Amino acid sequence: MSKHFTVLKRDPNSKARLGRLITAHGAVDTPCFMPVGTQGTVKATLPRDLLEIGCQILLANTYHLYLRPGHEIIRELGGLHRFMGWDGPILTDSGGYQVFSLAAMRKITEEGARFQSHLDGSHHLLTPEHAVEIQEALGSDIAMVLDECVGSDTPREYVQESTARTVRWAERCLRARKARNQLMFGIVQGGLFEELRRWCVDAITPMTFDGFAVGGLGVGEEEETLHAIGNFTVALLPEDRPRYLMGVGRPQDLIRAVRAGFDMFDCVIPTRNARNGTLFTFQGKLNIKRAEFAKDPRAPDESCGCYCCGNFSRAYLRHLYMAGEILSAQLNSLHNLYFYHRLMDKCREAIRDGRVEIWMELGKIGDGA
């Protein structure tokens, strides 16, 4: 049994579970959503505001912080928590997805991932050992192993080769691990092939990881395929460890994934959509750019308790966006992150109280206006 994670209750209406994850910087109630603070900041959002909306844990990225300002600088300045002014738990991604996105600028070998920096074109080698070293320097609460993410259209032969390499890299990450107060999660790859997903689970779950993530989804596949592979894989993972679905984040996808048994999520969708003028509500998405809102005195979501909805109108938010004001991104991001945390609150309530009507309510969330 894991000493860091406890399943507190199981939902009688699905495979969802209520859990608690203990880290060096505090406890996290699951299921939970992790706002993405790639470069040591959740874009357009103060740490103070994140605390006020009930954020429990943030995600930061190894690749970006390694390149700028550098993990040794962050170590010298007291670690990532002090550097970014956040005293709660932090999970750091290993950089595997960012390397995947640099298809024209990287080469994968058994040794690791050779790539050119997107900042200045300089050459780097990210090995499993180096990924662990960087994350230990950052001092995050949860470190991810280095893996290779492949696209949804990748041929099976390469996916098989890549998945086996990801397992070998996971073993190397464990051997390189020194910081025992930092949890480490393994990652299950295997593309869209069930037999490769099963093989990867069988190979990686006997290892002494504190949790397991499912990667390589949300990279171009159809929605039903995403959920079919996700549901298949999560059912194979150990019951006593947290299960993390990486990078998937539309509200309707999160609800389905929670009901399938996933515990942790991250995605840039709430903050990226906010900067593009899209707000999430329990009635669906709201495109604040639309001309129909130019004189609309209503709150973006009259049922929402966030600072944005309590103080500003749709007309004002549209004005800010059209004027290119920085406050537009700030208020929209605050609202969307508040919505995502209330979504997780409702999921936990549905599990805790066995209330099927909450699942029915959440199931009505659509694309909206």
The answer to whether the beta carbons of residues 52 and 84 sit under 8 Å apart is no
* Token couple for 252: 């309707």
* Token couple for 330: 């700030």
The answer to whether the beta carbons of residues 56 and 89 sit under 8 Å apart is yes
CA distances from 40 to 31, 80, 154 (A): 23, 7, 32
3-state secondary structure the chain: CCCCEEEEEECCCCCCEEEEEEECCEEEEECEEEEECCCCCCCCCCHHHHHHCCCCCEEEEHHHHHHCCCHHHHHHCCCHHHHHCCCCCEEEECCHHHHHHCHHHEEECCCCEEEECCCCCCEEEECHHHHHHHHHHHCCCEEECCCCCCCCCCCHHHHHHHHHHHHHHHHHHHHHCCCCCCEEEEEECCCCCHHHHHHHHHHHCCCCCCEEEECCCCCCCCHHHHHHHHHHHHCCCCCCCCEEECCCCCHHHHHHHHHHCCCEEEECHHHHHHHCCEEEECCEEEECCCHHHCCCCCCCCCCCCCHHHHHCCHHHHHHHHHHCCHHHHHHHHHHHHHHHHHHHHHHHHHHHHCCHHHHHHHCCCCCCC
Catalytic residues: 93, 266
